[in-house]
Structure 1
Amino acid sequence: MKSAVETLDPTKVKLTVEVEYDELKPSIDHAYKHIAEQVSVPGFRKGKVPARIIDQRVGRGAVLEHAINESLSGFYRQAVSETDIRPLGQPDVQVVKVPELETEGGELHFTAEVEVRPEVELPELSSIKVAVDDVEVTDDDVDGRLDSLRERFGTLVGVDRPAAEGDFVVIDLKATVGDDEVDNVSGVSYQIGSGNMLEGLDEALAGLSAGETTTFVAPLAGGEHEGQDASITVVATAVKQRDLPEIDDDFAQLASEFDTIDELKADLREQAAGVKQSNQAVQARDLLLEELTKSEVPLPAGVIEAEVVRHLEGEGRLEDDEHRAEVTEQTQVALKNQIVLDILAEKLEIKVAQNELLDYLVNASRQYGMDPNTFIKTIDENGQIPAMVGEVARSKALAVALRQVEVVDGEGKAVDLSEFIGSDEDDAAVEAAGTAAVEGADSEVVESDAAESEAAESEAAESDAVETDKA
């Protein structure tokens, strides 16, 4: 098979592929076999109809069409591999020449136009310097954590006064749209200031005493009448305040393993420092990504439009132009980041070991509230494992890149992020451990480099999208 690539623009190429008859012959033989199993010819058993009879009854053209349709996606993927392009979208395939109908000979020629990953020159990592916030734990940080802990051990006590910010109010609530009652709930406990129920509810409840009623208008947040203004009638049946325990040694012993409040505060200070150090790593990662994406990155318009349409169709908002603009911008940013990180992962020769992928999948299963084995099996059956490998490779590429970047605090002092981004020695240990079997996954080989995962990620779309126009 011969394949050549022509660059049409920075994000689109045209593949020209020539397949010799001998390479197509196995698919032709399979086509004859398949058709023989489908047709009924007097004097022949199904599956035993000779090729010459099929040519007479069905036509050799139909056999060639069957063989071409069956083999085209494979020849396309082979051409993609040989030319080392990185498809991002679905190919537009045109068959321009087919083997001869009369004789067993001739070649299959086809072209495929496809949007691809553009070439982007990334800056040298050693030249990049990012400045993160200082780790400075204040007394307010400690007090905030202490108050949160006290709230966990606080008690609600009924009060005979108007409700105020932070109070808990037990309410009965009725919502009507026009003459229709659309909601009616009783005995709901709501904290004023939480803002997690209805727009305007905080203001309506503030100043209300037990037994009092008020009415206001608010847009509904869900249901059949979502977004419509409703008349809300709310009755405060009780007002309660949260009484917090005293800050003393008794509370330290109640809420922790420490004997004194000073020991508890010291531990809370360490916790706050740990969170701020973790935030430094997140901030450094985000700043590095900003530096890497400052480069001009041509984006494939077709890939963006397809993703935008998919997103809007899923929401039933295809005609919402304002939302379309928002989704388009978000898609452009996400695709730009993906392209840059894929190139970075390739440049750094990132490997994804089995246990790294497994950790990612297990964490993802928790986000969806699914059993990990069930989640992994579903992902595998849907052909999404390569996409998951790509996600892990991109995340790992940023962590590895951070080791080569200068990270400083507000005073210009070097910041050690090794606790959060690991080291090269850690990667070596992970890869060594990655040879262990992955429980629940059908694939025996999960380890993949960035280029392989990217190519596999688009394979399903490519194979489904090969539509042929016969010359």
Structure 2
Amino acid sequence: MKASWEKIEKNLGVLQVEVDAERVAGALDKAFKKVIVKVNVPGFRKGKVPRPIFEKRFGVESLYQDAIDILLPEVYTEAIQETNIEPVDRPEVDVEQFAKGESFIFKAKVLVKPEVKLGEYKGIEVPVEEAVVTEEEVAAELERLQQRHAELVVIDEDTAKEGDTVIIDFEGFVDGAPFEGGKGDRYSLEIGSKSFIPGFEEQLIGLGTGDFKDVEVTFPEVYHAEELAGKAATFKVKLHEIKRKQLPVLDDEFAKDVSEFDTLDAFKEDLNKQIKERKEKENEGKREAEIVEKAAEAAEVEIPQPMIDTEVDHMVRDFDSRLQAQGMTLDMFMTFSGQTIEDMKQQMQADAQKRVRNNLVLEQIAKEENIVATEEDVNEELSQMAEAYKRSTDEIRSILSANGSLANLTEEVAIRKTVKFLVDNSKN
């Protein structure tokens, strides 16, 4: 196989590939084996038609597209490795020659990773922010702990208030007809959580146990279910139960229940220390991010839109995973928030562009400074993952190798080492 790469403009170029006739013959053989099981020829059982008879009846050309589909992916991969390019989008392929007994020649327009012209990245000045803990922050942490350890107590003789959790049945109607996804039985809803359509939760305030109410709302003009967008809806609601948080008293007993300390004062002192350590890590992370941001701003790079789109897709998948961990799906989130997937992707564009830019700059700095993830670095990372997931290091390596993620892990380790290099070479 012969492969050559010629840049046309910016990040776009042409990959020209010629594959020898012997590999073409092999691809035609595979194509024949694939299609022959589906071919009916009088006098022969399915899959038993001799090749010469098949070609005489249907023409060898009938195998060409299947053969190209078989051969093209593998030779394209070999060609990008041979020419040392990094595509960031699907290629536009133009087949110039493919025939039995001849070589396979094709050209592919390929968008590749952009070139990065680095600016100053050593000696970046970002001051170290001191971690100061206030009494208000300690009090807020105590209140969060109170909320976490609060009991939900059933309220029988009061009406629903902001912050209460209500158990409701509901069914929604538009123009007098029920609609898909608009019904729920004994649904647990915290008033004020903003998880339902705007205006819904507020109308539950003042209802008592056993009360019924028609809740009138209007779907947002931009809504994932187009048939409901901008429509007025009526939800018939029955309130079964009201639950209200009962906070524990802040005293020594509370400290004993939630910590290893015997007194509230000792617990407060430890909380102060924890908050300070957390703020120090947060400040360190913010400083790292600012140093990377300044290095990226000093560089010159033109980012192709497909790279941004790919990063947006990654961000959506990550968001979906986080939702599932909370017991919610992306479709449910779209329903409650009134957004569409396109709305979400549009909102993620700026962050995605920044992420791509930062990564490209860090990759270029790593090349300039010969920063790589050594085998020792990767093994250390695998050991930490093995400890976290309670698996052996060999199991983790095998899993990552099987799903193609080991190379990604190696790249991530190299990127982290590059960030550390920038921090080590920065000024306070």
Give the alignment's TM-score, normalised by structure 2.
0.67
**Which of 301, 305, 317 is 1:297 aligned to?**
301
- Asked if 1:177 corresponds to 2:177, the answer is no
State the AA in 2 paired with 1:12.
L
Question: How far, CA to CA, are the matches of 2:7 and 2:224 in structure 1?
Answer: 51
TM-aligned CA distance change 1:394 to 1:287, over 3 Å: farther
- Asked if 2 retains the 8 angstrom alpha-carbon contact of 1:24 and 1:67, the reply is no
Matched residue, 2:139: 143
**Which of 117, 135, 141 is 2:113 aligned to?**
117
What pairs with 1:49-448 in structure 2 (closer than 5 Å)?
Answer: 70-97=70-97, 107-131=103-127, 133-155=129-151, 156=153, 158=155, 164-168=161-165, 173=170, 175-180=172-177, 190-206=189-205, 216-219=215-218, 227=229, 228-232=231-235, 241-294=244-297, 295-301=299-305, 326=347, 332-333=353-354, 335-344=356-365, 348-350=371-373, 353=378, 356=381, 385-386=404-405, 389-390=407-408, 392-393=409-410, 395-406=412-423
Secondary structure of 1:88's match?
A: coil
Question: Deviation per CA, 1:4-32, whole angstroms, max 9, x where unpaired?
Answer: 2211111111122344xxx4324425635
Q: CA deviation at 1:54?
A: 8.0
TM-aligned CA distance change 1:189 to 1:95, over 3 Å: closer
Question: Deviation per CA, 1:429-453, whole angstroms, max 9, x where unpaired?
Answer: xxxxxxxxxxxxxxxxxxxxxxxxx
CA RMSD, 1 decimal: 5.1
Secondary structure of 1:146's match?
A: helix
Question: Deviation per CA, 1:210-236, whole angstroms, max 9, x where unpaired?
Answer: 676665422469997765432345566
- Asked if 1 retains the 8 angstrom alpha-carbon contact of 2:171 and 2:236, the reply is yes
Question: How far, CA to CA, are the matches of 1:236 and 1:98 in structure 2?
Answer: 71
Question: How far, CA to CA, are the matches of 2:421 and 2:6 in structure 1?
Answer: 36
Aligned pairs, number: 385
The one of the two structures with greater contact order (alpha-carbon pairs below 8 A, sep at least 6) is 1
Question: How far, CA to CA, are the matches of 1:159 and 1:65 in structure 2?
Answer: 73
Question: Deviation per CA, 1:300-343, whole angstroms, max 9, x where unpaired?
Answer: 346667998999xx999xx9987775566566455445544554
TM-aligned CA distance change 1:273 to 1:55, over 3 Å: same
State the AA in 2 paired with 1:298.
E
Question: How far, CA to CA, are the matches of 1:66 and 1:176 in structure 2?
Answer: 52
Secondary structure of 1:82's match?
A: helix
Which runs of 5 or more residues in structure 1 are unaligned? 365-372, 415-471
Question: How far, CA to CA, are the matches of 1:96 and 1:360 in structure 2?
Answer: 49
Matched residue, 2:6: 6
Secondary structure of 1:404's match?
A: helix
Give the alignment's TM-score, normalised by structure 1.
0.62
Identity %: 25
Which runs of 5 or more residues in structure 2 are unaligned? 317-329, 335-339, 390-394
State the AA in 2 paired with 1:83.
T
Question: Which has the larger displacement, 345-354 or 82-91?
Answer: 345-354
- Asked if 1 retains the 8 angstrom alpha-carbon contact of 2:15 and 2:109, the reply is yes
